[in-house]
């Protein structure tokens, strides 16, 4: 079983004038291929900070991080950009689709960045949208779709380049509960097909769709079942 994420003793702090604020206090985490993991924690616990590090979007002061076996802690900006495009499919609370582009163009984007021809990218993107039941909306703009449809397009975009990791930050946060459950069901189906998913959320109901839950409390991680020192959860 290949290891997708290996994080060892990562510390992250922000300098605030004279003082520094430690936001991640020695985080270690391993995620194997095929896992569906939820990182569950209250507001301010460090979820977005950790997501930004896992997503190769932010640096850290101490510790080591390997993504798909590659040492992220040793990479320069160009290498980090490459990792983001090649290894990770991002899914955000607010979809982050490009408003001036059509559904099809949005999903083609990761492939065009990788140098696929326009024709090949369009063919693969259309196929992927078809699989997510969005094949009849290819020329719509994002603002001509429902929230649930926009998230399906974002999931199609995240999947189109066959990333090693799907990384989702509150993916149902902007959806009503029924539509949110549909998106979570889709995640479960994708995981059954072998996709590795890390989902960040403050909502236990949402987290309970994952196969494994890790709690984050005040910058520290606890496997579910391990005693957490805080009583707030
Ligand atoms: N750029 C920054 N400079 C200083 N402190 C920051 C910065 N970004 C975040 N923090 C602090 O780090 C802590 C963790 O923030 P983070 O955004 O990771 O929390 P979160 O778990 O994602 O919360 P939420 O659920 O509200 O999104 C917070 O106490 C926050 O105030
Ligand atoms: Mg956050």
Q: Is 48 touching ligand 1 by the criterion CB < 6 Å? A: yes
Specify whether the CB–CB gap between 37 and 92 falls below 8 A. Answer: no
Question: Are 102 and 110 spatial neighbours (Cβ–Cβ below 8 Å)?
Answer: no
Please identify every stretch of the chain with a pLDDT value under 70, giving residue numbers as ranges.
Answer: 225-233
Probe ligand 1: pick from 13, 19, 48, max atoms within 8 Å of CB? 48
In angstroms, the Cα distances linking 226 to 49, 91, 214, 221, 222 are 22, 28, 9, 10, 6
User: With 0-12 CB in 10 A as exposed, 13-18 as middle and 19+ as buried, what is 194?
Assistant: exposed
Does the beta carbon of 203 sit less than 6 angstroms from any atom of ligand 1?
A: no
The tens digit of pLDDT for each residue in 210-219 reads: 999 999 999 9
Q: Domains along the chain? A: 3-223 (3.40.50.300)
**pLDDT number for residue 174:** 87
Cβ of 201 below 6 Å from ligand 1: no
Cα-based angle 95, 150, 89 (whole degrees, multiple of 5): 50
Question: Are 29 and 203 in contact, with CB atoms under 8 Å apart?
Answer: no
List Cβ neighbours of 74 (8 Å cut-off, separation of 6 or more): none
DSSP character at residue 231: S
């Amino acid at each position: 079983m290949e290891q997708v994420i290996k994080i060892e003793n990562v510390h992250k702090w922000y300098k605030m004038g004279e003082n520094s604020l430690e936001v991640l206090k020695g985080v270690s985490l391993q995620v194997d291929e095929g896992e569906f993991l939820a990182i569950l924690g209250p507001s301010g616990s460090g979820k977005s900070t950790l997501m930004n590090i896992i997503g190769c979007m932010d640096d850290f002061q101490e510790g080591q991080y390997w993504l798909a076996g590659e040492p992220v802690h040793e990479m320069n900006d160009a290498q980090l950009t490459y990792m983001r495009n090649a290894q990770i499919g991002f899914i955000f609370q607010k979809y982050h689709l490009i408003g001036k582009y059509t559904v099809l163009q949005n999903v083609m984007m990761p492939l065009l960045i990788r140098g696929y021809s326009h024709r090949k990218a369009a063919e693969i993107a259309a196929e992927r949208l078809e699989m997510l039941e969005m094949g009849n909306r290819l020329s719509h703009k994002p603002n001509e779709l429902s929230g649930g449809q926009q998230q399906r397009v974002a999931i199609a975009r995240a999947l189109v380049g066959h990333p090693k990791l799907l990384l989702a930050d509150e993916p149902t946060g902007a959806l009503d509960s029924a539509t949110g459950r549909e998106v979570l069901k889709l995640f479960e189906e994708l995981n059954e097909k072998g996709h590795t998913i890390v989902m960040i959320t403050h909502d236990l109901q949402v987290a309970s769709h994952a196969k494994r839950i890790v709690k984050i409390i005040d910058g520290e991680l606890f496997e579910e079942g391990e005693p957490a020192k805080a009583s707030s959860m």
